[in-house]
Each structure stands twice: as structure tokens, then as C-alpha cells.
Amino acid sequence: MQRQTIAEINLSALRANYRLLASLASPAPVMAAVKADAYGHGAIEVSRCLADEGCRIFAVVTLGEALELREAGIAGDILVMGVADPCRADEVLAADVVVTLHGLEHATEFEAAARAAGGRVRCHIMADTGMHRLGMDFRRTVELAARLKGADGLAVEGLMTHMSHSEQADLDRTEFQLANLRRVISELESRGLRPPVVHAANSATLMRRPDARFDAVRPGITLYGINPCRAYARGVPLRLVMTLSAPVALVKQVQPGEGVSYGHLWRATVPSRIAALPIGYRDGYPRALTNRAVVRVEGGLAPVVGSVCMDTTLIDVTAIPEAAVGSRATLIEADADSPLSVYALAELLDTIPHEIVCRIGSRVRRVFIDEG
């Protein structure tokens, strides 16, 4: 029997978010970031939904993610933003996937592998304008573009960068990176080397810097209804897409003084009814929520009590007499102002909402609903 722990994915909300972001970005097209299984929402179904809305460019991190989408029938361009292995150039060519070049050595190896495979790999160059994570020093990107002009194994179609501070209140660092990118674009244009597509705008940059939308935008977390800079980027009415719930599997009585779960980190002070939910940290519900979070069951809020286990979470339903085996408990609500929202959970854990949804594991069944 299935555990019936489910993440409900509201495709109508996803569609609304996409349309909103597309209208903000227009005329630049949306390159939908569906990496990390669409931030935990289910990459194949999410991509199919966005394709129905007219999305023709998808961004992932690994070649495996790209091939999964191709095998599922996703058409259009799929950009692998991570460091793809040149040894897999034959797979890249067969699936017509676009790769990202992160340096001179990476480009040289890919060019040789593509020629050996008998094809020409489509690629974008990642310019490191100041994040210092992936990509190559922006001052060397023109040199690489010049070397690859007319290369037998590579076709440069894009130039990209990624912003390190776009979610922060102070946008000085973002302006610094954009200035570096514009310097590269200007030099490429002067030498007739500018690729057709330049993109830099992640979700926060798309919302806050209209001048950074260039030839495409690359939203990720906003597609799923999460505002990455909620405190100072209001006015964009996103709809949260995911709801997480689990059934009550067992209810038991606990007497005063008795503890529950590992280490008895919570003890009853009065006769208590404790319900067990079939979800735990293996499913992405963090152990750090022990004795801190609440869930909604039968209309009431029940505190999480005792240590969150690998497979089970306990809640105190003493004040909710209607709660019984089979009652459904909601652990994440698609309401930004709820104490069960991804924002509230992220605040409890001193992290970002992105991490909350991305951690939802494969044992949690995705159920896709479409109000339309």
C-alpha cells in the first residue's frame, strides 16, 4: 500500500506564474529553469505544462536532467548550465542539447570530442562577472569566442552570466556584474562576435532590473510561486505551487511525564493524543523542525512534537478531537501568509524557501492538478 504522502502541484498556479513572468520579460523569451526536478515540483510534468504555455527554452544543470526531458518528449532548446563532460559529446549531439562552456580547457576538450563524434555541439559561454562559482573570467570570454569562430565542433549561440547579489537589498554588486557583462558584449559586438542570445536575469534580476533582461530571462524559483526577495520586491502576485500533506497513520495516548520519539525531546505534561505521520527527513521534512513547526489537521494547528525521524513525524492532536487515522495533515500550505508556508518554514530553519521545496524527496508522490 502506498504511503499517500503527497506533494500536490497546482499547474494552474504554475501557468499563472509563467504568464506573469513572460509579460514582465517581453519581448525577451522565458528560459524556464527546471533543474533539480523543477525545484522539487516534477521536471517532466512542469516542463510539459510550460511547453503548453509556449515555453521553448528550458535550463537544467546536468546532462542527465536534459536527457530525461528529451526522452519524455520535451522539444525546444534544453541548456545544460553545469559543467558537462566532453566525453559525452555523442549523447549531447544525439539529443540536440545545448551545453555551457566554463573555460578555455573545457571548450577545447568539447570541441575535439564533438569533432570526433562527427558533429557540431551548440553551446553558450558562461562569463564569470563576479560570482566566482562557475564560468570563466569575463575578461577572457572574447578570446574564447574568437577562437571558436568557425570551429568545426562547436557553435557558439549564447553568452550568459549569473548574479551573486540579486536577492539582496543593495544592488551595487549586481550593477558591478552587469557593467562587466556589458563590457564583454560591447567588445564582442565591435569584433562581430556577439552571439544571438545573451542572458543574465535570474528570478530576482528579472523582477528588479528591467535593463538586465537582454535576449532571454532565466527564472527559476518564481515559476513555482516563491519570491526570492519578498521583503523589498513586492507587487509581483506570484502563486505558490506546492502543497505537502500526509495522512494520520496512527493515534496513541501518552501519559504525563512520558516522552516521545528519539531522545524523548518532548514529554507530555497532560494526558495527550499523539498522531504519527508517514513523513520524515528522508522525505525532505527537516529534522530541525523538531518541536518547532505546526501542521494543519481537521482545521486545527497541531505542533510537531519529539524528534522528526527518518520516516515518521509526530504531532500533538490533543486539542483536535476530530483528528483520527486517515485524517490528512498539511505540512506545507500554498498560502504565503500561513505559518505552514515555505516562507515560514524557511524562517524557522534560517534558510531560504528554495531549499524547503527542493528537499522534498522521491518517496513523496507528486499529484498534479490543473484547475483549468
**DSSP for 71-131, written as a single string:** HTT--SEEEE-S---GGGHHHHHHHT-EEEE-SHHHHHHHHHHHHHTTS-EEEEEEEESS-
Q: Can you give the pLDDT at residue 170?
A: 87
Q: Which is catalytic among the residues 18, 35, 224, 281?
A: 35
pLDDT tens digits, one per residue of 230-253: 766 667 899 999 999 999 999 999
Quote the pTM value.
0.95
Length of the chain: 372
- 11-224 adopts what CATH topology? TIM Barrel (3.20.20)
Residues 6+ apart with CB under 8 A from 69: 34, 43, 44, 47, 58, 60, 78
Residues 124, 162: contact at Cβ < 8 Å?
A: no
Domain spans in the chain, listed from the N-terminal domain onward: 11-224, 242-333
Q: Which of 149, 232, 252, 262 is catalytic?
A: 262
Q: What is the pLDDT of residue 3?
A: 72
Q: Are 25 and 205 in contact, with CB atoms under 8 Å apart?
A: no
Q: What is the pLDDT of residue 2?
A: 53
In sequence order, which residues have a C-beta less than 8 Å from that of residue 282 and are 6 or more positions away? 310, 311, 361, 363
Look up 149 and say whether it is catalytic.
no
Which pLDDT does position 224 carry in this prediction?
98
Residue 62 exposed, middle or buried by CB count within 10 Å (0-12, 13-18, 19+):
middle
At 110-144, the pLDDT tens digits run 999 999 999 999 999 999 999 999 999 999 999 99
Residue 82 contacts residue 61 (beta carbons within 8 Å): yes
Q: Which residues of the chain have pLDDT under 70?
A: 1-2, 231-234, 372
What is residue 1's predicted lDDT score, i.e. its pLDDT?
39
> Is 1.10.10.10 the CATH number for 242-333?
no
11-224 and 242-333 share one CATH topology?
A: no
**285 counts as catalytic:** no
DSSP, residue by residue, 43-57: HHHHHHHHHHTT--E
What pLDDT was estimated at residue 236? 82
pLDDT of residue 233: 62
